[in-house]
Structure 1
Amino acid sequence: MNDYNYATKKITDEITASLTNVNSDDVDKLLIEINNAEKVFFVGVGRVLLSLQAIAKRLAHIGIKTYVVGEITEPAITDKDLLIVGSGSGETKFPLIIAEKAKQYNARVAHIGANPDSSMSQYSDLFLRIPVSSKVDTPGEVHSEQPMKSLFEQSLLLLGDTLALMMVNNKNIELESLWEYHANLE
């Protein structure tokens, strides 16, 4: 059970199972929301937040104006903007509070999570399900041998990279041109 090859195969098999069961129509809808937004904000907590920060950075590399809620340079959200909430259970309090606040400013809200019947649904204009185990058991989910919510966090990160690749392909962006958006003070 401690074999590296077994563990990596198990993890990659779980990720493949979760991502291949994401509804591609919902992914297309999220791409439309991102493309229509003036600014795209992200909110989550813990390791989910880390995945969202990586997605925000990647989308910024392809020219999307992205902000993570709580950053010191975060601007005001408006009715021209999109808030992307990452929460597997859809019950995490901080993202719920932020989604409610975003709706007060008539922003669009997209929830990426595992639980379609969560409290977040009252604030979401779009729900994109990553069908993995979360704090709440739901039908059709991919169960994981990994600790806690690792599979959700991993799948979220790769979903973000998938969105970025789809945007690059849809917009016929030359990959070399993306370096102009990459950090250069490193």
Structure 2
Amino acid sequence: MSYRETYQTILEECETALGKVKEDDVKQFIELLLEAEKVFFIGVGRVKLAVEAFAKRLAHLGIATYIVGQITEPAMTDKDMLVVASGSGESLVPVAIARKAKQIGGKVVHLGSNPQSSLAPITDLMVRIPVQTKLYLADEIQSQQPMSSLFEQTLLLLGDTIAKMIVEKEQIELKSLWQFHANLE
């Protein structure tokens, strides 16, 4: 397969996956993001990298975001939300952290593929990205890419889609966002 054919395959897979995400779930997620005082994020591996990019983009919109485990992570309260990014919804550390967040009284949102995961009973909302996971569920979108690449890519694009929707909903002037950008560079 040529370079062009390969990237076109990847882009087509991402478009298919994003097209399967339910808009009502995205809108509900945006409302929860805007209501929360602080938004915490957790994921592992490459998923963590994608969800960290999403958290950073939301921070650029003035939303108080934190990555679970970062050295300056504040205490979570019942006014806050945890976003768990896990395709399978079975990754041990994110599931344990989600249980703790729920005990505290915070909202828990799962960005993942498996609606029957260990996270299901404790989440306030699942935004399903129905792509191939290590579980190979029957209704998952199959991918020609290795492992969970499609989930990570779709998660990143979903994050940027949500950020743009927030900009439009809140009528944020794009030029004003630079006040939230890092300046020690």
- TM-score scaled by structure 1? 0.98
For the pair 1:69 / 2:68, whether they are aligned, the reply is yes
Corresponding position: 1:152 with 2:116:
no
Counterpart of 2:34, as a letter, is: N
Q: Which residue of 2 aligns with 1:52?
A: 51
1:130 is aligned to 129
Match of 2:118 in 1: 119
Structure 1 position 135, deviation (Å): 1.4
| Counterpart in the other structure of 2:161 | 162
> What corresponds to 1:13 in structure 2?
12
For 2:123 and 2:134, how far apart are their aligned partners in 1? 19
2:32 corresponding residue in structure 1 = 33
Paired with 1:11 and 1:149, the residues of 2 have a C-alpha distance of: 12
- Describe the SS at the equivalent of 2:119: helix
* Code of the aligned partner of 1:125: D
Match of 2:3 in 1: 4
SS where residue 119 of structure 1 aligns? coil
* TM-superposed deviation, 1:104: 1.1
Give the aligned residue type for 1:75: P
User: How many residues are aligned here?
Assistant: 185
Q: Where do 5+ consecutive residues of structure 1 fail to align? A: none
Pairs within 5 Å for 1:87-126: 87-126=86-125
Residue type of the alignment partner of 2:132:
S
Deviation track 1:31-66 (CA, whole Å, cap 9, x = no partner) reads 011011000000010000000110010000000000
Q: How does 1:163-182 map to 2 (within 5 A)?
A: 163-182=162-181
Structure 2, unpaired ranges of 5+: none
Q: CA deviation at 1:140?
A: 3.0
Distance 1:51 1:142 in 2: 19
Most deviating of 134-143 and 144-153: 134-143
CA distance in 2, matches of 1:103, 1:181: 29
The residue matched to 1:140 in structure 2 has which SS? coil
TM-align CA RMSD: 0.7
